Structure 1
Amino acid sequence: MGHRNEGTASAENEATDRLQRVTQAMARLKVDALPRNYELFHEALFGHDPALARDVTSLAPNPPQHVLDRIGLAYRLTGHCGLIEEKSCVEAARVLSGAAEEMSAAIREKQAFVSAMETLLRAIREDRDRGVEDLLADVDFLQSSAAELLRSESRAEQALKAGLDRLDTAERATRAAKAAILRDRLTGLPNRIAFANRLESLYESGALPRGTALLIADIDGFAAVNRDYGTEAGNRILKRLAAILRKSIKKNDFVARIGADEFAFLFADVDDAAARTIAGRIHDSVENGLVFATADGEDNGALGLSIGIALSDDAESAQHLTARAEQALAAAKVDPRAPIACFAPGVAGRRAA
């Protein structure tokens, strides 16, 4: 209990320290205390994207909000991508309002033309002695009204077409933003949000899903790589790993980056033996393909991979399945000679040992 309390206190202290550093950095630049700005500065200070860090640290004091938003959008931060959907809704309302005004104007022109026609016909019926000049004047008036009616309808049509084009552009931007929210910036893989959505969808029917395996993999010693060679070297390794993982799965399988050096896989229609075989294939692909060199160009060897497996057959929820896979991963990391572990009731006990 004491160890757990110490760990909790340490995590809370770290979170408080990070919040203070983010707040101080924003205060120095006089940045508004908006949630999306906190996210931007947190990623710049504690994320693993040197380019984002450079863009933020190069800002002059009092940066305009649109400049901050442009940076956030460029790096597909969740809070900033949400702005696109918000702006799309505003744009849609503006377009519909403009189209409604143009249509109302066209309807008024049409009503005025019809009224003029009715007035002229009534005058002709009531005054059969009207002269030719009067009739010609009335015809000229009708022609002028008809021309204005056509112009009004043309303006309404053009406004509607332009509005539809703007709505289409806004809709494409919204779809792109939503896709970006579900995509890891660095590797291009689905991210933790996409993984959670995919996992939850397995339980939507209310029945326990059968024959699905969740694998959670962790790169062994990756923190040391970042520490010894820098985050840019670590990022290159992660990109290379993502390419390897994509090639290791089939079209209907799923892989996501769910942590700094943690990845999750979902495989359908597999049993325990098949899941172990798949995990072994992924492990071998990474060990054989994920090598890196030191600054002097010498090969520093391959990075290892630990994998935890859990099957969905008796997992009551997405959270339950994830917890089992994480327990299995913890057991796999205990013994480097057995880097793959499948959840079983005794896994937690082996982890403690």
Structure 2
Amino acid sequence: MNTATNSPKAQVPDVAAQITFAMRTMGVAPIPRNYELFYEAYIGSNPTLTRELAALGSRATQEELDQLGEVHFGSHQNRVVDSAHSKILTELEALLRLLKQEQTSLESYNKLLAETHTRITSKNSTSADILRNAIAILSKATGETMAHGEQTVEQFSQKSQEMDQVRRELDEYKRIANTDSLTRIANRRAFDERLATIFDGVSKPLTALVLADIDNFKKINDAYGHPVGDKILATVANVIKANVRKDCFVARTGGEEFAIIIDGNTSDEVQQICERVRVALETTPFKNSKTGVNYGPITISLGFCMAGDAEDAGELYAKADIALYCAKNSGRNRTKLYEDGMKKDFTKSWLIYRR
């Protein structure tokens, strides 16, 4: 579950390259809907999809891939995005028309002001005529312009409300797209986005990336089946969430792997948080109330690295992964902080070929 590397920074796993290579190896066309299938299989958030995709073999037809995509994703996502895109274009076009109308109205008003100025400065009119004409023209022009302005403001308000509704629809779509359907926490897609923000130009030495992995999870799945494994994954996610601050970012990054991003704590404090999670999980009962079967104890290994010890997100992930490997390799059910000199020559197979 770890990534082969002699230099963590130089050989951080390129997910896109690995997925593209796998698609090319299997003779799959590199189109977006196929990439989405392989991406979900890679991150392991949907074990059933992973198994079914692997079962198609090395020469899956496009029809088979589309059928698999329809079963697991349907066409809802594309409909949501296409609908929102269409609505946004419509509302923007309407706003541009309003702006053009407002510009035309103001241009007419400016012409009337210029005409009034001409009449006021004319030497051929009496003072009374000048005043009367000026008042008449300005009153009419100002009244029409104000009425038009009020109408424009009202229309702008309506369009803004409609566009805000589109924004809310897209926010909800993004929330769903970034949520792991099994554990109801953030998924790998959301994690990748959040990880990238750690190095956004602002120094964050008190930010930590924690990677966690359920110990011997494959044995649990083999012994009790995937339905039990799925329930254990959901429970582990709940235990992690319950034992970190609400502002900590928690995600399932694939299979039995989880990640936590903690802001504003020293390495000693992060160690304490990790230990709290580990002990809480170790003491959580995993028992079938109907059959009496005890699935536990369930333990977890954790590795973490402070952002101040990495130059970018890729190096931070690689070092946290190395610390996790060392926690696993030294006996499991423990927490390790990344330190220079930790073992680096380990390998990580791509999920779809490992299962």
Q: Where in structure 2 are the equivalents of 1:1-353 lying within 5 Å?
A: 15=22, 19=26, 35-36=32-33, 39=36, 48=46, 68=70, 71-72=73-74, 80=77, 84-97=80-93, 166-205=162-201, 207=203, 209-289=204-284, 291-293=286-288, 296-336=291-331, 339-348=334-343
Shift of 1:18: 9.0
1:117 maps to what in 2? none
Shift of 1:338: 6.0
Instruction: Letter of the 1:227 partner, please give it.
Output: D
Instruction: Letter of the 2:304 partner, please give it.
Output: I
TM-score by length of 1: 0.61
Distance 1:241 1:212 in 2: 23
Shift of 1:328: 0.6
Greater C-alpha Rg: 1
User: Structure 1 residues 95, 253: CA separation in 2 closer, same or farther (over 3 Å shift)?
Assistant: closer
Shift of 1:218: 0.2
Shift of 1:324: 0.8
Distance 2:335 2:83 in 1: 47
Distance 2:298 2:240 in 1: 14
Shift of 1:310: 1.1
Distance 1:331 1:44 in 2: 26
Distance 1:180 1:309 in 2: 28
User: Structure 1 residues 93, 49: CA separation in 2 closer, same or farther (over 3 Å shift)?
Assistant: same
Shift of 1:213: 2.1
Instruction: Letter of the 1:332 partner, please give it.
Output: A
Aligned-residue CA RMSD (Å): 4.9
Deviations 1:323-348 (A, max 9, x none): 11100100110122662211111221
User: Structure 1 residues 180, 53: CA separation in 2 closer, same or farther (over 3 Å shift)?
Assistant: farther
Instruction: Letter of the 2:201 partner, please give it.
Output: S
Contact 1:40 1:72 in 2 (8 A): no
User: Structure 1 residues 87, 248: CA separation in 2 closer, same or farther (over 3 Å shift)?
Assistant: same
User: Structure 1 residues 101, 185: CA separation in 2 closer, same or farther (over 3 Å shift)?
Assistant: same
Higher relative helix content: 1
Contact 1:310 1:328 in 2 (8 A): yes
Instruction: Letter of the 2:22 partner, please give it.
Output: A
Question: Which is bigger in relative contact order (C-alpha 8 A, separation at least 6)?
Answer: 2
Distance 1:314 1:102 in 2: 53
Instruction: Letter of the 1:329 partner, please give it.
Output: L
User: Structure 1 residues 282, 100: CA separation in 2 closer, same or farther (over 3 Å shift)?
Assistant: closer
User: Structure 1 residues 97, 254: CA separation in 2 closer, same or farther (over 3 Å shift)?
Assistant: closer
Shift of 1:168: 3.9
Shift of 1:40: 5.3
Distance 2:190 2:33 in 1: 20
Contact 1:213 1:312 in 2 (8 A): yes
1:138 maps to what in 2? none
Contact 2:214 2:256 in 1 (8 A): yes
Contact 2:322 2:344 in 1 (8 A): no
Shift of 1:95: 4.3
Instruction: Letter of the 1:194 partner, please give it.
Output: A
2:147 maps to what in 1? none
| Number of positions where the alignment pairs a residue of Structure 1 with one of Structure 2 | 281
Instruction: Letter of the 2:242 partner, please give it.
Output: K
Distance 1:211 1:165 in 2: 40
Contact 1:217 1:307 in 2 (8 A): yes
What stretches of structure 2 of length at least 5 have no aligned partner? 5-12, 53-62, 109-150, 348-355
Distance 2:72 2:165 in 1: 18
Distance 2:220 2:326 in 1: 23
Identity %: 26
User: Structure 1 residues 162, 300: CA separation in 2 closer, same or farther (over 3 Å shift)?
Assistant: same
Deviations 1:37-59 (A, max 9, x none): 663598699863669999xxxxx
Instruction: Letter of the 1:91 partner, please give it.
Output: K
Instruction: Letter of the 2:33 partner, please give it.
Output: R
What stretches of structure 1 of length at least 5 have no aligned partner? 24-32, 55-60, 75-79, 112-154
Distance 2:50 2:326 in 1: 36
